[in-house]
Amino acid sequence: MYCKFKPIGVLKTPFKQKEGMPIQGSMFPKAKGTVEVKREYANGLLHIEGFSHLILLYAFHKSEGFDLQTRTFLDEEKHGVFATRAPRRPNPLGLTIVKLNKVKGNRLYVSGVDMLDKTPLLDIKPYMTPYDGKMKAVKIGWLKTKIKKSRLSDKTFN
């Protein structure tokens, strides 16, 4: 089965190039951006202001090709691509949870962004703590010994 996605909008961020942008939005909660939803989808934003956080699904539009084993920004050792959040994937899809600060028409003002400017937006879902907050999910694999500080991207995936 083949799936074709049509962007519903675009993500505007201060990050014009891969190098120097946050590798995880949660590590940089002050990084602000704007979600611009195409006008034809604006009615789908009804009641979105009732949520404090949103899940953004988007395309890694600058990512080309993939490797089934890859290094990450946090580790020199290779890991299976599905055990990482590397952008070079068989289906280059990204996911970030952002804080919703304000809604104005078809624009959502958010913080905690970690994507390039002009990234194609594929979907928006409300973050729902009772369903999405898996506090019992405490195993984080190889990452356990690597999380030490906030990181910015480098040339790892070029």
The pLDDT value recorded for residue 124 is 98
CB-neighbour burial class of residue 86 (10 A; exposed 0-12, middle 13-18, buried 19+):
buried
Which tokens sit at 33?
A: 């951006």
CATH of the domain at 30: 2.40.30.70
Whose CA is closest to 24, among 123, 94, 101? Answer: 94
Query: Do the Cβ atoms of 22 and 90 come closer than 8 Å?
Result: no
Predicted pLDDT at 30: 86
> What is the span of the domain harbouring residue 135?
9-145
pLDDT > 90: what percent of the chain? 50
At residue 62, the pLDDT reads 82
Amino acid letter, residue 14: P
Residue 119 within any structural domain of the chain: yes
Among 13-27, 105-119, 135-149, top mean pLDDT goes to 105-119
* Total domain count, the chain: 1
pLDDT band for 131, please (50, 70, 90 cuts). Answer: confident
Please say whether the beta carbons of 97 and 54 come within 8 A. yes
Average pLDDT, the chain: 85
Specify if 120 maps to a domain: yes
**What is the sign of the dihedral through the CA atoms of 39, 111, 13 and 61?**
negative
Is residue 117 one of the residues assigned to a domain? Answer: yes
Residue 151 included in any domain? no
Q: What per-residue confidence (pLDDT) applies to 136?
A: 63
pLDDT higher than threshold 60 for residue 99: yes
Residue 110 maps to a domain: yes
